[in-house]
Amino acid sequence: MPASTTTTTVLTARAFLLDMDGTIVNSDAVVERCWRRWAERNGLDPEEALKVVHGRQGYATMAVLLPDRPMELNYADNKVMLAEETADTDGVVPVAGAPAFMAALAGRPHALVTSADAALARARMTAADLPMPEVRVTAECVGASKPDPEGFLKGAAELGFAPADCIVFEDSEAGIAAGKAAGMRVVGVGPRANAHEPTAYVPDLTHLTVTAQADGTLRLEING
């Protein structure tokens, strides 16, 4: 058999913007439990619903699944969903390589940009035993859900860097679209990401090596 080959891609940036669910935290078990219940309550096929739930805020996902439904009902259901998800951390674990990846970013410019609200983000990061970034853009901070780029643009601005100086790490179609719309390079992480044409792709975070350079930039080595 021919020897396997690997490729290495190197990107540099001033700051990293990290999605949470599916990117550094594996919360799929909780997401699927909660969204299956919601789909069944609303007469939807849970398997079809699960194809679109990742990456967006809950109310935005509900609007996609039930386009004729009044938005006030989606907002009300979203509050219930967030409470259910925050209380349920069974099966929440770090994505492979996430502890080392986050440790490499300690003291370096990075932000969490998530569709979760602050309480849910803290619950899941704690359950996964990952450090919470000092800069974070949660659901309460934005007026529009991913795939709108608002969250990533706010994260870059709070860190003090231009979009072109940032790299986004995302797992979902909505998140990758948001990163691209923000004018940023996107590293896709995990099984959902590769189909949506990120700048680069890794199965998990064990394929990444981060090195801080003398000029303050972050060198990202992507091993395929």
Q: Which residues are catalytic?
A: 19, 21
For residue 156, count CB atoms less than 10 angstroms from its CB and return exposed for 0-12, middle for 13-18, buried for 19 or more: buried
Task: Indicate left, alpha or beta for 50 from its phi (over 0: left) and psi (-120 to 50: alpha).
Answer: alpha
H or E stretch covering 12: strand 8-13
Q: Using the structure block, give the residue that is written with the tokens 């502890």.
A: 99
Q: What are the residues whose beta carbons fall under 8 Å from the beta carbon of 113, sequence distance 6 or more?
A: 17, 18, 19, 136, 137, 151, 152, 154, 155, 168
Token representation of residue 165:
């100086």
Question: Quick one: DSSP state of residue 208?
Answer: E
